[in-house]
């Protein structure tokens, strides 16, 4: 392929034998192309198709991958190597060269005698000039690029396309600025979430992790190193709710009536809280203060206020409230929260259990809300999330105990404006996303529908781990939340295999495509897909199975 070529306004000279004129890096492979256009974050390079074909047969997996979208290349600038990722590739008119757009990832120093890359760091200080040679990245280079430094980290898998270079997540950077794990159903998202949490727990056995589990999947995964809570043992005192959460449970009216009912509830709730000895000791008690009170005191306050009304029509709001409170008190499904046994001041014991203070070697609380009635699931999640945030705020000045709050099916609780239902859980989780890191609260969001998340919440996550996303709207949403330099990796999201992900942001040294480790069956969540072909062959015992199921159904799990 001797002669002149011209692509994108750049002219250069190719040499015989398919190589570019500069030849080799000391002790390494020959050049595969040249730079022909430079821009701030990305550039255009021209790659030699013959060289790429020759490398495709290499035993080195990284070299065999050279020239593919998502693969890395390196360019020498002075005594440093510039590392870039290939975003797009296009065959030029001659049919012998590939014009590729690259995104700069970072740079490393060059060892003078061998030309090897070492001390890689994110960011670019010097740009190459047009005509600079482009070299393929070797597995040895990838070892340097993705080698974890001395910062505390967890190893979660291997770097694509290698089988032995470990992929690490930096725990402090990942948790300090929140993280999100995204992926369509069936991509291995739940198992990957369990893997990450297992590794975090192993690194910090005295940590404080609270996980909201809406489907009851994760209890089986953390039997040995986690504390498991559900409606049978959660014992969440109703008086921990603030006024807004009380309104969500007790108010049934809409429009102007709702405001009237809310004003009455605020007055009577304050009266009920002030009857408690703790409430009497507080100089200026507020309706939001987590002070125990009796539900009977609340209904008595409503009756007392109702007696002051002149007309029967004025009593309607009081009767609505009283009726709803009596309904909640008498419903056995609500016993885990509104039981008469939960009136004692157990706040310290509750926080100690849920936040793992101390952890006793079980640093994670799995809170299974699958048995919670649908009408108050969002309220329960709101109370737990707000307790995490409020504890962090009011414990300032004490020894710091950061808490990681992990929210599975996050789009249910932090919905976008189109799906918003005005619930308090969306507001508190959005606030944690924006302000949590100031107080030592980290947020981990796990979702299969990132486009259904509230606007801006995903962009607050400093680290994004994206598995395969099949929906085009979800892909566009994630692309908008990720940094410009990771665009080449992002284009691979629809083509990822199960257990593969693209990791970008603060928690990784540089954007990386990785394959998560296989998790021990005993540590996996109970989220396996049913095997219809096998299960439909099984017969027998249906009558007893139906009887047991209907008994549990009617007693609502009790």
Q: What is the CATH number of the domain that holds 130?
A: 2.40.30
236 token code pair: 């969440």
91 token code pair: 């065959």
Distances (CA, A) of 482 to 429, 487, 541, 554: 21, 8, 52, 48
Instruction: Kindly state whether residue 155 falls inside one of the protein's structural domains.
Output: no
Judged against a pLDDT cut of 50, whether residue 9 lies above it is answered with no
148 phi and psi angles, rounded to 5 deg: -75, 135
- One domain for residues 275 and 378: no
Task: Give the pLDDT band of residue 420 (cuts 50, 70, 90).
Answer: low
More confident residue, 3 or 446: 446
Residue 277 confidence (pLDDT): 86
Task: Give the pLDDT band of residue 10 (cuts 50, 70, 90).
Answer: very low
d(CA 415, CA 407): 13
- One domain for residues 243 and 202: no
Average pLDDT estimate for 5-10: 42
Task: Give the pLDDT band of residue 526 (cuts 50, 70, 90).
Answer: confident
- One domain for residues 432 and 392: yes
Q: What is the CATH number of the domain that holds 388?
A: 3.40.50.300
Residue 270 confidence (pLDDT): 92
Instruction: Kindly state whether residue 10 falls inside one of the protein's structural domains.
Output: no
Asked, as a colleague might, if the bond just before 358 is cis with ω within 30 of 0, I would say yes
Judged against a pLDDT cut of 50, whether residue 8 lies above it is answered with no
Instruction: Kindly state whether residue 391 falls inside one of the protein's structural domains.
Output: yes
pLDDT digits (tens, 9 = 90+) for 104-117: 888 888 887 777 88
More confident residue, 417 or 475: 475
- One domain for residues 453 and 521: yes
Name the most confidently modeled range: 155-164, 416-425, 440-449, 495-504. 440-449
The proportion of the chain whose per-residue pLDDT surpasses 70, expressed as a percent, equals 91
Judged against a pLDDT cut of 60, whether residue 17 lies above it is answered with no
Task: Give the pLDDT band of residue 340 (cuts 50, 70, 90).
Answer: confident
Instruction: Kindly state whether residue 365 falls inside one of the protein's structural domains.
Output: yes
Judged against a pLDDT cut of 90, whether residue 27 lies above it is answered with no
Task: Give the pLDDT band of residue 213 (cuts 50, 70, 90).
Answer: very high
d(CA 499, CA 87): 22
Residue 6 confidence (pLDDT): 45
d(CA 154, CA 156): 6
Residue 465 confidence (pLDDT): 93
Output the CA torsion sign for 105, 108, 114, 115: positive
- Pick from 314, 333, 352: which residue ends a domain? 333
Residue 15 confidence (pLDDT): 39
Say whether 150 sits in a helix, a strand or coil.
Answer: coil
Say whether 285 sits in a helix, a strand or coil.
Answer: coil
- One domain for residues 48 and 122: yes
Kindly calculate the radius of gyration of the chain based on its CA atoms and give it in whole angstroms.
29
d(CA 236, CA 477): 36
- One domain for residues 267 and 207: no
- One domain for residues 205 and 109: no
Instruction: Kindly state whether residue 42 falls inside one of the protein's structural domains.
Output: yes
Residue 34 confidence (pLDDT): 93
- One domain for residues 86 and 182: no
Contact indicator for 163, 84 with CB cutoff of 8 Å: no
Lowest pLDDT segment from 14-23, 84-93, 310-319, 363-372: 14-23
Task: Give the pLDDT band of residue 189 (cuts 50, 70, 90).
Answer: very high
Structure pTM?
Answer: 0.85
- One domain for residues 499 and 362: yes
Lowest pLDDT segment from 28-42, 117-131, 374-388: 28-42
315 token code pair: 């009593």
Instruction: Kindly state whether residue 546 falls inside one of the protein's structural domains.
Output: no
Residue 47 confidence (pLDDT): 93
Task: Give the pLDDT band of residue 419 (cuts 50, 70, 90).
Answer: low
- Pick from 303, 333, 363: which residue ends a domain? 333
- Pick from 83, 112, 144: which residue ends a domain? 144
Task: Give the pLDDT band of residue 157 (cuts 50, 70, 90).
Answer: very high
- One domain for residues 499 and 378: yes
- One domain for residues 205 and 256: no
Instruction: Kindly state whether residue 106 falls inside one of the protein's structural domains.
Output: yes
Judged against a pLDDT cut of 60, whether residue 184 lies above it is answered with yes
Q: What burial class does residue 9 get, using C-beta atoms within 10 Å of its C-beta: 0-12 exposed, 13-18 middle, 19+ buried? A: exposed
Long-range contact set of residues 35-40: C-beta below 8 Å, sequence gap at least 24: 35/75, 35/128, 35/129, 35/130, 35/131, 35/132, 35/133, 35/134, 36/7, 36/8, 36/9, 36/10, 36/12, 36/130, 36/131, 37/8, 37/9, 37/10, 37/130, 38/127, 38/128, 38/129, 38/130
Name the most confidently modeled range: 305-319, 421-435, 523-537. 421-435
| Alpha helices for 97-242 (secondary structure H) | 139-146, 171-176, 189-203
Judged against a pLDDT cut of 90, whether residue 4 lies above it is answered with no
Element (H, E) at 13: strand 10-14
- One domain for residues 349 and 328: no
Residue 442 confidence (pLDDT): 95
Task: Give the pLDDT band of residue 18 (cuts 50, 70, 90).
Answer: very low
For residue 314, the enclosing domain spans: 238-333
Instruction: Kindly state whether residue 273 falls inside one of the protein's structural domains.
Output: yes
Residue 11 confidence (pLDDT): 46
Judged against a pLDDT cut of 70, whether residue 14 lies above it is answered with no
Pairing of strands 403-408, 209-213: parallel
Residue 485 confidence (pLDDT): 62
pLDDT digits (tens, 9 = 90+) for 67-115: 888 888 999 998 889 998 888 889 888 888 999 999 888 888 888 777 7
Mean pLDDT estimate for the chain: 85
Residue 305 confidence (pLDDT): 83
pLDDT digits (tens, 9 = 90+) for 238-261: 999 999 999 999 988 888 888 988
Say how many domains are in the chain: 3
């Amino acid at each position: 392929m001797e002669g002149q070529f011209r692509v994108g306004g750049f002219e250069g000279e190719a040499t015989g034998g398919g190589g570019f004129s500069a030849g080799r890096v000391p002790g390494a492979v020959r050049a595969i192309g040249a730079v022909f256009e430079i821009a701030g974050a990305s550039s255009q390079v021209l790659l030699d198709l013959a060289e790429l074909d020759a490398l495709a047969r290499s035993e080195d997996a990284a070299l065999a991958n050279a020239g593919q979208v998502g693969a890395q290349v390196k360019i020498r600038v002075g005594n440093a190597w510039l590392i870039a990722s290939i975003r797009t590739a296009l065959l030029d008119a001659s049919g012998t060269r590939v014009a590729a757009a690259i995104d700069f990832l970072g740079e490393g120093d060059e060892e003078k005698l061998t030309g090897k890359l070492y001390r890689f760091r994110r960011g670019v200080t010097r740009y190459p000039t047009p005509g600079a040679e482009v070299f393929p990245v070797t597995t040895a280079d990838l070892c340097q690029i993705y080698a974890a430094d001395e910062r505390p980290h967890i190893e979660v898998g291997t770097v694509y396309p290698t089988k032995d270079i470990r992929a690490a997540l930096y725990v402090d950077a990942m948790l300090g600025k929140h993280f999100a794990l995204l992926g369509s159903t069936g991509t291995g998202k739940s198992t990957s979430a369990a893997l990450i949490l297992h590794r975090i727990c192993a690194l910090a056995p005295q940590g404080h992790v609270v996980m909201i589990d809406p489907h009851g999947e994760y209890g089986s995964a953390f039997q040995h190193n986690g504390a498991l809570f559900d409606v049978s043992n959660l014992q969440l005192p109703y008086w921990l709710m603030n006024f807004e959460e009380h309104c969500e449970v007790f108010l049934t009216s809409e429009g102007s009536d709702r405001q009237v009912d809310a004003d009455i509830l605020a007055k009577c709730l304050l009266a009920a809280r002030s009857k408690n000895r703790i409430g009497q000791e507080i100089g200026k008690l507020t309706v939001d203060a987590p002070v125990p009170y009796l539900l009977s005191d609340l209904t008595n306050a409503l009756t007392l206020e109702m007696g002051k009304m002149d007309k029967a029509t004025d009593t309607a709001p009081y009767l609505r409230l009283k009726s709803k409170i009596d309904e909640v008190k008498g419903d056995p499904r609500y016993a885990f929260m509104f039981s008469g046994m939960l009136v004692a001041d157990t706040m310290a014991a509750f926080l100690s259990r849920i936040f793992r203070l101390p952890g006793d070697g079980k640093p994670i609380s799995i809170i299974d809300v699958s048995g919670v009635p649908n009408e108050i699931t969002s309220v329960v999640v709101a109370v737990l999330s707000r307790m995490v945030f409020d504890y962090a705020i009011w414990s300032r000045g004490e020894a710091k105990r950061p808490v990681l709050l992990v929210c599975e099916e996050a789009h249910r609780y932090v919905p976008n404006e189109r799906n918003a239902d005005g619930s308090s859980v969306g507001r508190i989780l959005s606030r944690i996303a924006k302000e949590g890191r100031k107080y030592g609260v980290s947020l981990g969001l796990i979702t299969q529908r990132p486009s259904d998340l509230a606007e801006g919440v995903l962009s607050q996550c400093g680290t994004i781990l994206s598995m395969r996303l099949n929906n085009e709207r979800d892909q566009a949403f994630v692309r908008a939340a990720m940094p410009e330099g990771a665009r080449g990796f992002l284009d691979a999201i629809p083509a990822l295999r199960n257990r593969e992900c693209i990791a970008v942001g603060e928690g990784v040294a540089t954007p990386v495509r990785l394959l998560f480790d296989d998790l021990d069956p005993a540590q996996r969540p109970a989220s396996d897909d049913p095997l219809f072909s096998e299960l439909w062959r099984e017969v027998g015992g249906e009558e007893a199975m139906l009887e047991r199921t209907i008994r549990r159904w009617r007693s609502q799990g009790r």
